[in-house]
């Protein structure tokens, strides 16, 4: 089968590799029809993780079930399914408690909880930027999609990661209807956080970024765009909230945050959130941070440490939730919102491309070129 293979920093190609196949009786085999490039793929693409050469990218996947193992009961051949990016067993303590983001069984490293398709440190699972994908524990891991799934793939494909991830940021922040929220980062996850906050009844949603295409996308759904290359975002948020600060904040950038002048600083967005969120407010952090970052810009960053304004964070009595999203906690309900036409997350898609054009797509997306807001790859689509 064809697949997007990593060959070292900023070097991917579409290669012919052995077909994915059923390996265990609980597996399903899926023919991928839509698979996104994610912002977190770029950390790996740039060589800022220990993602191994030769592995396949892709953790935002939709496709059709073409074969199931003997123990699979719920999922059937012919079903269109969304595969949450988290690979999860369904029966460990964390999965049982809904924490499928930290499955204790799917990652063979006994020191790490959590697994994902095509992801650094998240187990050996091949990604779905390919013609076929093996979905383990398929009855637990696959979400069946409704009848309009073939026509509305660019909406449903967001269910495997970024829509739930954006939603999770908002949920962890503790947002209640009528409250205000500031979202740092207007990339795909930040946009989905904005969409989620609006869906949950926020009275004001502010999105901080500096790329015109992203600021425009946020504005399109009714959020207030804040250009941090033009204004001080902390001051702006405080002005927009009667001098108090936003009730809630969402971090949707991660450890490779840069200031408007281009300097990388892993504590920048964290400290901006502490400063722009009110006393007693909540923060949800879904941007990726890493325990060790050998390529980081200084010694503390290399150790995975941030110069965090902890004194201010504590003094303001804020709370913070972190980590990858437990997609299964949200994907059924978000599926309903799509199916009932309450939300249309595909508004951020800028490019629908055949799988073969993945290398160029990675290049443009990594360069943050204007207008490349979100790429959906379609294996099998004529190149």
**Those residues with Cβ within 8 angstroms of residue 208's Cβ, 6 or more apart along the chain or in another chain:** 182, 183, 184, 185, 186, 226, 228, 233, 237, 272
Residue 108 binds a second copy (CB under 8 A)? no
C-beta separation of 218 from 202 below 8 A: no
Q: Taking contact as CB under 8 A, which single stretch among the options 54-62, 149-157, 297-305, 361-369 is the one that binds a second copy?
A: 297-305
- Give the nearer residue to a second copy in terms of CB position, either 346 or 381: 346
Calculate the CA 146 to chain-centre distance: 23
Residue 90 binds a second copy (CB under 8 A)? yes
Backbone phi and psi for residue 241, each to the nearest 5 degrees, phi listed first: -125, 40
Q: How many of the chain's residues bind a second copy (CB under 8 A)?
A: 89
In this structure, the number of other CB atoms found within 10 A of the CB of residue 210 comes to: 18
CA distances from 60 to 150, 221, 376 (A): 16, 23, 9
DSSP 8: S
Select from 10, 258, 305, 368 the one that contacts a second copy (CB under 8 A).
Answer: 305
Short-list 230, 167, 239, 168, CA closest to 204: 239
Q: Is 116 helix (H, G, I), strand (E, B) or coil?
A: strand
Residue 294 binds a second copy (CB under 8 A)? no
Q: Enumerate residues 40-69 that contact a second copy by CB under 8 A.
A: 69
**Those residues with Cβ within 8 angstroms of residue 114's Cβ, 6 or more apart along the chain or in another chain:** 86, 101, 102, 103, 106, 107, 122, 324
Residue 292 binds a second copy (CB under 8 A)? yes
Residue 293 binds a second copy (CB under 8 A)? yes
**Sign of torsion over alpha carbons 40, 44, 50, 53:** positive
- Give the nearer residue to a second copy in terms of CB position, either 232 or 280: 280
Q: Enumerate residues 186-225 that contact a second copy by CB under 8 A.
A: 196, 199-201, 203-204
| Residues β-bridged to residue 130 | 3
- Give the nearer residue to a second copy in terms of CB position, either 91 or 150: 91
The site string for a second copy over 308-337 (x = CB under 8 A, - otherwise) reads: xxxxxxxxxxxxxxxxx---x-x-xxxxxx
- Give the nearer residue to a second copy in terms of CB position, either 211 or 248: 248
245: left (phi over 0), alpha (psi -120 to 50) or beta: left
Least separation in angstroms between residue 138's CB and a second copy is 9
Least separation in angstroms between residue 360's CB and a second copy is 31
In this structure, the number of other CB atoms found within 10 A of the CB of residue 80 comes to: 22
Least separation in angstroms between residue 379's CB and a second copy is 26
Least separation in angstroms between residue 218's CB and a second copy is 16
Select from 47, 295, 304, 354 the one that contacts a second copy (CB under 8 A).
Answer: 304
Q: Enumerate residues 4-33 that contact a second copy by CB under 8 A.
A: 24-26
The encoded tokens of residue 311 equal 């004194």
Residue 113 binds a second copy (CB under 8 A)? yes
Select from 279, 294, 360, 370 the one that contacts a second copy (CB under 8 A).
Answer: 279
In this structure, the number of other CB atoms found within 10 A of the CB of residue 265 comes to: 18
C-beta separation of 53 from 6 below 8 A: yes
- Give the nearer residue to a second copy in terms of CB position, either 263 or 332: 332
The site string for a second copy over 227-266 (x = CB under 8 A, - otherwise) reads: ----------------x-----------x----------x
Least separation in angstroms between residue 192's CB and a second copy is 13
Residue 120 binds a second copy (CB under 8 A)? no
Q: Taking contact as CB under 8 A, which single stretch among the options 59-67, 71-79, 151-159, 362-370 is the one that binds a second copy?
A: 71-79
Least separation in angstroms between residue 180's CB and a second copy is 8
End-to-end Cα spacing for the chain: 15
Q: Enumerate residues 343-382 that contact a second copy by CB under 8 A.
A: none
- Give the nearer residue to a second copy in terms of CB position, either 11 or 322: 322
Distance CA 35, CA 57 (A): 10
């Amino acid at each position: 089968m064809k697949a997007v293979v990593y060959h070292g920093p900023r070097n991917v190609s579409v290669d012919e590799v052995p077909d994915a196949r059923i390996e265990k009786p609980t597996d399903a085999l899926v023919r991928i029809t839509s698979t996104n490039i994610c912002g977190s793929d770029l950390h790996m693409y740039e060589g800022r993780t220990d993602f191994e050469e030769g592995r396949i990218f892709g953790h935002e996947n939709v496709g059709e079930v073409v074969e199931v193992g003997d123990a699979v009961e719920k999922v059937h051949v012919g079903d269109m399914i969304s595969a949450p990016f988290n690979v999860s067993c369904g029966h460990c303590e964390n999965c049982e408690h809904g924490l499928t983001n930290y499955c204790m069984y799917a990652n063979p490293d006994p020191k790490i909880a959590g697994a994902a398709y095509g992801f650094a440190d998240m187990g050996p699972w091949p990604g779905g930027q390919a013609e076929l994908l093996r979905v383990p524990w398929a009855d637990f891991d696959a979400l069946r999609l409704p009848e309009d799934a073939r026509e509305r793939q660019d909406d449903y494909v967001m269910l495997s990661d970024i829509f739930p991830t954006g939603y999770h940021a908002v949920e962890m922040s503790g947002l209640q209807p009528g409250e205000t929220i500031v979202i740092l980062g207007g990339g795909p996850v930040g946009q989905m956080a904005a969409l989620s906050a609006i869906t949950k009844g926020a009275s004001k949603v502010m999105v901080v970024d500096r790329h015109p295409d992203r600021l425009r996308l946020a504005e399109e759904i009714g959020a207030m765009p804040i250009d941090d290359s033009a204004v001080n975002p902390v001051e702006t948020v405080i002005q927009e909230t009667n001098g108090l600060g936003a009730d809630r904040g969402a971090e949707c950038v991660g450890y490779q945050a840069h200031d408007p002048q281009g300097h990388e600083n892993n504590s920048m967005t964290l400290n901006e959130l502490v400063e722009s969120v009110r006393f007693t407010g909540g923060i949800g952090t879904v941007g990726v941070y890493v325990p060790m970052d050998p390529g980081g810009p200084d010694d503390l960053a290399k150790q995975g440490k941030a110069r965090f304004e902890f004194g201010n964070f504590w003094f303001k009595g804020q709370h913070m939730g972190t980590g990858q999203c437990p997609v299964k906690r949200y994907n059924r309900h978000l599926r309903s919102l799509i199916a009932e036409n309450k939300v249309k997350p595909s508004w951020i898609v800028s490019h629908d491309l055949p799988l073969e054009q993945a290398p160029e797509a990675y290049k443009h997306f990594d360069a943050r070129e204007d207008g490349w807001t979100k790429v959906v790859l379609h294996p099998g689509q004529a190149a």
